[in-house]
A and B are shown apart, each in its own frame.
Chain A
Amino acid sequence: MKVSLRKFIVCAAFLCIAANLCLAEDTTNKLKIDGADTAWVLTSAALVMLMTPGLAFFYGGLVRRKNYLSVLMQCFIALALLSVQWVLFGYSLAFAPGNGFWGGLQWFGLKGVGLEPYAAYSSTIPHQAFMIFQAMFAIITPALIIGAFAERMKFSAYLLFTLLWATFVYDPMAHWVWGSGGWLKNMGVMDFAGGTVVHINAGIAALVTALVIGKRSCYNKYTVAPHNLPFSVLGAGLLWFGWFGFNAGSALAANGTAVNAFVVTNTTGAVAALTWALIDWKLTGNPTMLGTISGAIAGLAAITPAAGFVGVGAALVIGIAASVFCYIAVSFVKRAFHYDDSLDAFGVHGISGIWGTIATGLFASKLINPTGADGLLAGNSKQFFVQLIAVAVTVAYAFVGTFIIFKLVDVVIGVRASEEQEAIGLDLTEHNERAYTMLE
């Protein structure tokens, strides 16, 4: 009796294992979903999600405390508003296979965007994993612009502007560069994680909005010191952390390209932070905390388009140059032209986005990524010119598109808070809350 029971158990176990193997083989053949790839892309989506609250702290620490909550709120509400916009029609406009200009509305409400892979974007992860990863990019990009009009924009106007900008500037631009059938994609533009779509786009929008809304009333009258730099350092740390998802996640797989992107992202952020600190030290006598985190962000933004195509040597050059260019933009150009890009959204993201996209055309190498292309230094001048065209097109479209939308919002509801609101602060006047209490 005992023996037969043991036999029975052994047989049953074998049967189970065999059945399991057959089943596993069946599903892999049918769905082709790779567990590791999917896990990495979902993790990356979560990492990029955290960048928007991170950005809120980065920007929030730099404003006066009477406007702290207004900046946090603008970032956080972007997370809410654009998450909804994205699943309703944003993803469809950006990524559905429409025409060269945009995707159209055929994937409205994620119709047809399922849990099977969609081969045009990735054949190893569920389509919705790609969708939610891209959602986080669509959220943080409009949020980057906040730095330009901080401390003086009406909340209602901000909401309307952000919705329109995401729909008519971000979504089409994402389609051109990354979408199936996008015309810049077909031209061969290389933008690994968003040098054009994210950083140039938001940076130019920042410049336009800063010019149209005008300077803060305190501009050039008295210095506006960051109200809480430690928060900005926390924010910069969260951004750096999230950037691993942003860049390494853009490989859309847990593979060598993702690892390369991870390594060059960290290297560029690091060397750019170091460079800015040294420039500060040399020119003003002290290495500043604000300078060091600004450098890190400049470097991280610059490597974004290149992360999947260049090696560590190029990353070092890109990082050093990013800090030099952005330092010049923030410290000299902004002062010379008297525009109040309050938190340097253009000076850091715009400039490093342009530099990074051009640098991709310089340093890209098929030795790093055989599915990419060689750049100018590897003898491929065509790619370099394609990158220049991508920069020019993005700058032009972002400039004109943002100008029209921002002016429109200004005419309809007015973009600027009243003088009194600005004096009292947007926390109390727009949200009826304050960030800090005094006694309790």
Chain B
Amino acid sequence: MKLIIAIIQPHRLEQVKEELYKAEVNLITVSEVLGHGRQKGVTEVYRGVRETGNLLRKVRLEIAVNENYVERTIKAITTGARTGKTGDGKIFVLDLPECVRIRTGERGSEAIG
């Protein structure tokens, strides 16, 4: 089992969701986060004063999948989120030792789907 964490541009969320549904990945947790990568944020003007180095608004996806779903999940996120510009985001794939479905008490691979 893997836990896939992706940081994407907020305005690509709808496309990513669309791609994930196409790939039959239907379990997803979304949160709003702040951060920046190599581009170190945009510049913003506040009452005529130019400010730089702000943290940018991003969207963080968490998706737990079985091994046979890892590649198609990565492909779906990449297809939906890629614009080709700096700031498109990252995908992290982590090992997931355990998963429990609270309602039934099922564990492991069965609990994920």
Contact = CB atoms under 8 A, between A and B. Distances in A.
B55 interface: yes
B107 interface: no
A432 B11 contact: no
A438 B46 contact: no
B45 A432 contact: yes
Contacts, number: 19
Contacts of B14: 218, 221-222
Contacts of A438: 32, 34, 57
A26 interface: no
Contacts of A221: 14
Contacts of B45: 432-433
B47 to A, nearest CB: 10
A425 interface: yes
Given A423-B12, A433-B45, A434-B44, 5 more contacts: A222-B14, A423-B11, A433-B46, A438-B32, A438-B34
Contacts of B34: 438-439
Nearest to A425: B11
A424 interface: yes
Contact of A424 (B11, B32, B44): B11
Contacts of B46: 433
Interface of B: 11-12, 14, 32, 34, 44-46, 55, 57
A384 to B, nearest CB: 50
Main secondary structure of the interface of A (DSSP, over half): loop
Interface residues of A, number: 12
Nearest to B12: A423
Nearest to A217: B14
Interface in A193-237: 218, 221-222
B15 to A, nearest CB: 9
Contacts of A439: 34, 55
Nearest to A432: B45
Nearest to B55: A439
Contacts of A423: 11-12
A221 B14 CA distance: 9
Contacts of B55: 439
B32 to A, nearest CB: 7
A424 B56 CA distance: 12
Interface string A419-440: 0000111000000111000110
A423 B57 CA distance: 14
Contacts of A432: 44-45
A66 B55 CA distance: 16
Contacts of A425: 11
Contacts of B57: 438
B7 to A, nearest CB: 15
B51 to A, nearest CB: 10
A434 B12 CA distance: 18
B13 to A, nearest CB: 10
Contacts of B11: 66, 423-425
B55 to A, nearest CB: 7
B3 to A, nearest CB: 24
B39 to A, nearest CB: 15
A218 B18 CA distance: 13
